[in-house]
């Protein structure tokens, strides 16, 4: 081999080696890319199951990126110390990126915080976020980070607990357009509200400094700094039952604050009105007294546009009817529970839902499969609309959260959507608002002939988001 | 997350205490000795509203399904007396066509 041939072969060999190296690297890159895509697919499949709420289908799961140099054995050891199960390392994406599963009953957020606190060995930790399949939230949608959101099937039904996907009020689609307005006030006429609840406190109405204390000509001055108490004028409307707090949370628990649940309105002002006692019962007189208060405040410039009334009886009261009518004249929508007697309200009316007034909306309850709840009253003429009302998670006393069922729970779903509508149409009249709600339903087969509109409320349609 | 019964009843009164109250109330209404009032059945129940499906006249109540106890009592051959209890409430259901909140007449 002459000198020229030698260098020619050497150059060729070096070229082949480099090409082989490049090809190998390309194969490794392709393999890594395929692996990453596979991991991504697996994550998307799994996060439907593990969404940070272990109660749904599995335990809480987190993704943790350990710092360089922390061995796999050490990672397993740390996980064991925290009662977490080492699931997998995504070595093709990043050494030290692992999935861990909680085994001691914590939420994904809590577990992530635990690992975030180990700054010496952990770069970051995050809950395994829910990824919504397209069919569960079609079109544009806006998510919330509230810790228990995955259990709020009425806002996003992905089939949790045996429900039917999309049998919900389409809240995520509505939120693209509006998440509520703190200029708007919704009165919750009930057992009061735990106005100090951490998921409600920021959305509670308080009497503005420039608005005088309420003084009734006959009864005297009321303690109305945070609402109204018709049972005891010297006390504020702190809830001693839980029912009113539950209804308030459905309408306006603070949204996207990483705490508890999301209200239909992330921002709104809830005006607590107490007339139901600690047992959840109250008198017609006290209900009228509270409505009288709302009208007074409205006339003095307080922008209360909706009263949510999750109560009633079969006893007709002309005085109560007159009070509600007057509220309508003042521009206030009155949303009321159709009742829980499994009866035809056209034949046996339930009041106040049964008053034939332009500002009254009567609400039936649905389960998570779009079926009329077994307990719910119905009425092709007198019950106007249906909304989720079974196993509804919301705020409760002592800063807690609890599921409850009833047309009581369906009523604030509609009141909440009405508030969303007003947040984008603040000048809308009561008549227009009521009609908008009734025109925005999703027709449901099981409601044909049972409810005037034959449908479930749709927040997205109501606010014009779809 | 169904309410625990002990939470609902508040445990201010045990099952025995509530049944005792119901027996005493019925004995007084019927004008007989408490010893003559017998327990037919005591069972957990879901009532349609916060008045336990037994509202008294003029009463408005929260329309939330409420768990509690259904207490059936009898006095000798006379049976069918139904009390309903939840929290601190005790109600006599459909007695002579009327609901009664115990300790408060309808």
Same domain, A449 and A387: yes
Residue A269 per-residue DSSP state: E
* Residue A378: how many other CB atoms lie within 10 Å: 24
Same domain, A375 and A424: yes
Name the residue with tokens 């697919």. Answer: A41
Q: How far is CA A38 from CA A23, A72, A93, A393, in A?
A: 22, 22, 11, 35
Using an 8 Å CB-CB cutoff, list chain A residues near B60.
Answer: 275-276, 281-284, 287, 311-313
Tell me if A424 is assigned to some domain.
yes
The answer to whether B87 contacts chain A (CB < 8 Å) is yes
Tell me if A245 is assigned to some domain.
yes
CATH code for the domain in which residue A308 is found: 3.40.50.200
- Residues of A annotated as catalytic (active site), given as ranges: 190, 243, 408
Q: What ipTM, to 2 d.p.?
A: 0.87
Same domain, A292 and A378: yes
Same domain, A184 and A76: no
Domain count, chain A: 2
Find the distance separating the first CA and the last CA of chain B, reported in whole Å.
34
Burial class (CB in 10 A: 0-12, 13-18, 19+), A176: middle
Rounded to whole angstroms, how far apart are CA atoms A459 and A176?
11
Task: Supply the angle between the helices A243-252 and A407-424 in degrees, to the nearest 10.
Answer: 30
The answer to whether A415 contacts chain B (CB < 8 Å) is no
Same domain, A212 and A179: yes
Burial class (CB in 10 A: 0-12, 13-18, 19+), B85: buried
The answer to whether A288 contacts chain B (CB < 8 Å) is no
* Residue A4: how many other CB atoms lie within 10 Å: 8
Same domain, A332 and A444: yes
Tell me if A140 is assigned to some domain.
no
Same domain, A198 and A241: yes
A418, containing H or E segment:
helix A407-424
Rounded to whole angstroms, how far apart are CA atoms B33 and B43?
24
Same domain, A39 and A74: yes
Domain boundaries, chain B: 7-101
Tell me the per-residue pLDDT of A219-269, one tens digit each, with 9 for 90 and over.
Answer: 999 999 999 999 999 999 999 999 999 999 999 999 999 999 999 999 999
Tell me if A11 is assigned to some domain.
no
Max mean pLDDT among A47-56, A291-300, B7-16 falls in A291-300
For residue A91, the model assigns a pLDDT of 74
DSSP three-state, residue A257: coil
Same domain, A426 and A307: yes
Residue B103 pLDDT level (bands cut at 50, 70, 90): confident
Tell me if A390 is assigned to some domain.
yes
Tell me the per-residue pLDDT of A17-33, one tens digit each, with 9 for 90 and over.
Answer: 656 555 555 555 554 44
Same domain, A215 and A269: yes
The answer to whether A406 contacts chain B (CB < 8 Å) is yes
Same domain, A189 and A336: yes
Query: Residue B60 is nearest to which of A281, A393, A411, comparing CB atoms?
Result: A281
In the listed set A97, A131, A165, which residue is the last one of a domain according to the structure?
A131
Pick the residue with more confidence: A286 or A466?
Answer: A286
B5, containing H or E segment:
helix B5-9
Q: Which of A405, A358, A355 has the alpha carbon at shortest distance from A379? A: A355
A424, containing H or E segment:
helix A407-424
Same domain, A84 and A156: no
Tell me if A436 is assigned to some domain.
yes
Residue A466 pLDDT level (bands cut at 50, 70, 90): confident
pLDDT above 70 as % of chain B: 86
To test the contact with chain A by mutation, choose from B2, B60, B91, B93 the residue with the greatest count of A C-beta atoms within 10 A, namely B60
In the listed set A89, A104, A131, which residue is the last one of a domain according to the structure?
A131
CB contact under 8 A, A375 and B58: no
Query: Residue B60 is nearest to which of A313, A342, A406, comparing CB atoms?
Result: A313
Task: Provide the b/e sequence for A248-280 (b: ≥16 CB within 10 Å).
Answer: bbbbbbbbbbebbbbbbbbbbbbbbbbbbbebb
Tell me if A2 is assigned to some domain.
no
CATH code for the domain in which residue A48 is found: 3.30.70.80
Tell me the per-residue pLDDT of A345-398, one tens digit each, with 9 for 90 and over.
Answer: 999 999 999 999 999 999 999 999 999 999 999 999 999 999 999 999 999 999
User: In terms of residue numbers, what domain contains A260?
Assistant: 149-463
CB contact under 8 A, A408 and B66: no
Range 22-81 of B in CB contact (< 8 A) with A: 48-51, 53, 55, 57-66
């Amino acid at each position: 081999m002459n000198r020229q041939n030698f260098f020619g072969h050497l150059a060729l060999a070096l070229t082949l080696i480099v090409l082989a190296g490049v090809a190998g690297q390309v194969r490794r890159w392709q393999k890594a890319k395929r692996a990453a895509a596979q991991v991504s697919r697996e994550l998307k499949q799994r996060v439907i199951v593990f969404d940070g709420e272990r109660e749904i289908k599995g335990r809480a799961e987190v993704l943790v990126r350990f710092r360089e140099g922390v061995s796999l054995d050490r990672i397993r050891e740390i996980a064991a110390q925290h009662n977490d199960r080492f699931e997998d390392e995504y070595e093709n994406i990043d050494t030290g990126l692992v999935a861990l599963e909680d085994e001691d009953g914590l939420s994904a957020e809590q577990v992530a915080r635990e690992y975030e606190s180990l700054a010496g060995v952990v770069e970051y930790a995050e809950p395994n976020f829910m990824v919504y399949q397209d069919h569960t939230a079609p079109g544009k949608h806006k998510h919330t980070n509230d810790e228990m959101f995955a259990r709020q099937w009425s806002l996003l039904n992905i089939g949790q607990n045996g429900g039917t996907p999309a049998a919900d009020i389409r809240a995520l689609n509505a939120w693209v357009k509006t998440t509520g307005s703190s200029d708007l006030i919704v009165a919750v006429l009930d057992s009061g509200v735990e106005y100090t609840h951490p998921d409600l406190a920021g959305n509670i109405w308080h009497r503005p400094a420039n608005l005088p204390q309420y003084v009734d000509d006959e009864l005297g001055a009321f303690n109305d700094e945070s609402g109204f108490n018709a049972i005891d004028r010297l006390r504020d409307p702190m809830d001693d039952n839980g029912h009113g707090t539950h209804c308030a949370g459905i309408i306006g628990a603070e949204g996207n604050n990483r705490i508890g649940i999301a209200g239909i309105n992330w921002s709104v002002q809830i005006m607590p009105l107490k007339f139901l006692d600690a047992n959840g019962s109250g008198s017609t007189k006290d209900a009228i007294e509270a409505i009288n208060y709302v009208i007074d405040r409205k006339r003095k410039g307080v922008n209360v546009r909706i009263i949510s009334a999750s109560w009633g009886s079969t006893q007709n009261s002309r005085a109560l009817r007159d009070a509600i009518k007057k509220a309508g004249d003042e521009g206030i929508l009155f949303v009321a529970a159709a009742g829980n007697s499994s009866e035809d309200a056209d034949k046996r009316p339930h009041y106040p839902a049964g008053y034939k007034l332009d500002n009254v909306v009567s609400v039936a309850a649905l389960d998570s499969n779009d079926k009329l709840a077994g307990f719910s009253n119905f009425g092709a003429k007198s019950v106007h609309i249906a909304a989720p009302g079974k196993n509804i998670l919301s705020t409760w006393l002592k800063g807690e959260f609890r599921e409850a069922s009833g047309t009581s729970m369906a009523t604030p779903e509609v009141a909440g959507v009405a508030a969303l509508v007003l947040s984008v149409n603040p000048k809308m009249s009561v008549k227009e608002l009521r009609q908008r709600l009734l025109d925005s339903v999703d027709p449901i087969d099981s409601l044909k002939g049972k409810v005037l509109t034959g449908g479930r409320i749709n927040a997205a349609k109501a606010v014009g988001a779809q | 997350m169904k309410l625990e019964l002990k939470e609902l009843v508040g445990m201010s009164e045990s099952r025995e205490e509530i049944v005792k109250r119901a027996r005493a109330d019925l004995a007084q209404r019927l004008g007989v000795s408490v010893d003559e009032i017998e327990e037919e059945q005591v069972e957990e129940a879901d009532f349609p509203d916060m008045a336990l499906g037994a509202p008294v006249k003029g009463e408005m109540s929260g329309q939330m399904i409420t768990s509690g106890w259904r207490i059936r009592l009898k006095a000798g051959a006379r049976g069918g007396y139904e009390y309903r209890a939840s929290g601190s409430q005790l109600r006599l259901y459909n007695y002579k066509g009327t609901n009664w909140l115990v300790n408060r007449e309808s």
